[in-house]
Chain A
């Protein structure tokens, strides 16, 4: 059963609860005055090019003074047709497109996609490959949460936090670059394995990065967690109840901040997460402040997972060697042996051969559950692929969440939800 950990912060927690009820009272009071005055409402459009919307989200709102009465999100400004493209190419060719779904954590998307297709093929990858994938997933989570916390701080007026966390991300990019050859469009996984083995000494460098990121997290903690301005802006703002969160299909840290204990790494363990010892932080109030605490805590847990995996890093192959119809043979063999040459040729022209069937696989990504629903009629090309972007579901709550807040709260609410339009619009 999942171990859970409630975030408690001593007096801060108490203060949070108090401020929470204050804020509620404030909103109600504002509501009453409005109905008395019966003033005219004003329409306001935010986005799709606006700093608070982190991309190309657009909000159409109806304001009464400073109070938001109605909010309608408009999406689709980054709809690039990923699902249609997927139907037109082989499974491996689609890997680069998964980078660009949640472009703050591309490695995690790569892994989720590869695992979905492997589930269709009923293929088990070797332990070493799983370990590499786990480390990349958790590094991706750290990189996404670092940006999430940094940008969130920036939205609330704490620019320094952004600078600090972004510096850490640059170090991560160096690690990614070493591993995959690219800073963040990594395309690292292949169906049945990963593109290449880890470089020499890479694990050591990951280890020292982990040490550094904990230090930075402490600094961020000092700057934000008890920062008067930050707390005033976030505590009790944007409260999502458990029932709301579930009904809107939210997942990931945003759901857990509302007190629902759902983490696929614990509940439906994939790869080797069941052999790792880590805690799933759960929020108490479901407000913007909790969502910040959640991400900060998850970074620490990810660091602990990475350390455990490095501690018992398995030997062996980094791809499924016996899956000849799925994973491309080594280049040296392709150039020297006929059989491998043909195998390579078939793979490139026709794609990895899959059986018929329907699968749905979800992985616990930094933003929530990233799901792939694949319908295959056999062969190397999916018949239909549906991508469930967690940000899409997390944002659907906006039209219910935002009304009743003040205009200035939008910045923190959007910042706290930590979404990315790439996977929302696909």
Chain B
């Protein structure tokens, strides 16, 4: 693997800034310039494979959402990470890369589904993993792992079986413990657990 020269990017595109990274070259790109930059990434720099599109929810920080893209060049075997902050914390929007890489289609739908980031210009932006009428975006930090009670998508089945989507039981689950405190609180349990055998829900 030959390392790419990040100064080349930084000098050619003055809107880019360097991003902290523990491995590959990483760049911050403003959301408005993403399309322009990615087009030249593909056409000039030979990054022909869009590996992954995802996002990070920084919870209380601002900007709250950061879109992250991973590119790969089959010619030079290099990776590149590009991150773009969403300007708006409440209605996060990013431009869609579907016009440049077809791979972006499903990845962006997934990120929209789980993180709630809207991709402007996406031809078919709807949920891909959860069902269409699901009201939440589960990978956001304020969404509990156990889930939130919602009706089942199919009404007739819900009626016959009396089933709805309920929060999964977390007690005694195979999950992380906080470290100190009483035994009942420190036994491995979900981080977001709001109840245990001492205080019921």
Name A88's contact: one of B68, B102, B114, B190 (CB within 8 Å): B190
**Which one of A26-34, A195-203, A331-339, A388-396 is at the B interface?**
A388-396
Which B residues are CB-close (under 8 A) to A400?
Answer: 102
Asked whether, in the complex, the Cβ of A119 is within 8 Å of the Cβ of B23, the reply is yes
| Given known A357-B20, A425-B129, contact A373–B52 (CB-CB < 8 A) | yes
Chain A nearest CB from B74 CB (Å) reads 5
Which A residues are CB-close (under 8 A) to B1?
Answer: 267-268
The interface residues of chain A, by DSSP majority, are classed as mixed
Asked whether, in the complex, the Cβ of A89 is within 8 Å of the Cβ of B176, the reply is yes
Which B residues are CB-close (under 8 A) to A307?
Answer: none
Which B residues are CB-close (under 8 A) to A260?
Answer: 74
Asked whether, in the complex, the Cβ of B22 is within 8 Å of the Cβ of A359, the reply is yes
State the total of A-B contacts with C-beta under 8 angstroms.
126
Is the interface on chain A under 10, 10 to 19, 20 to 34, or 35 or more residues? 35 or more
The closest CB in chain B to the CB of A262 belongs to B74
Most central of B105, B114, B129, B145 by chain A CB within 10 Å: B129
Query: In chain B between 104 and 119, which residues have their CB closer than 8 angstroms to a CB of chain A?
Result: 105-107, 110, 114
Asked whether, in the complex, the Cβ of A351 is within 8 Å of the Cβ of B106, the reply is no
- Whole-angstrom distance between the alpha carbons of A120 and B106 in the complex? 27
Query: In chain A between 408 and 426, which residues have their CB closer than 8 angstroms to a CB of chain B?
Result: 425-426
Asked whether, in the complex, the Cβ of A119 is within 8 Å of the Cβ of B103, the reply is no
Asked whether, in the complex, the Cβ of A360 is within 8 Å of the Cβ of B70, the reply is yes
Asked whether, in the complex, the Cβ of B186 is within 8 Å of the Cβ of A349, the reply is yes
- Whole-angstrom distance between the alpha carbons of A255 and B87 in the complex? 36
Which B residues are CB-close (under 8 A) to A375?
Answer: 56
Chain B nearest CB from A357 CB (Å) reads 3
Asked whether, in the complex, the Cβ of A81 is within 8 Å of the Cβ of B145, the reply is yes
| Given known A358-B26, A388-B52, contact A248–B103 (CB-CB < 8 A) | yes
Task: Provide 22 A-B residue pairs closer than 8 Å at the C-beta atoms, listed in order of the A residue.
Answer: A76-B127, A76-B129, A84-B145, A85-B145, A88-B145, A88-B176, A88-B190, A89-B174, A93-B174, A122-B22, A244-B102, A246-B74, A247-B103, A349-B177, A373-B70, A381-B191, A386-B52, A386-B68, A393-B106, A393-B107, A395-B106, A397-B102
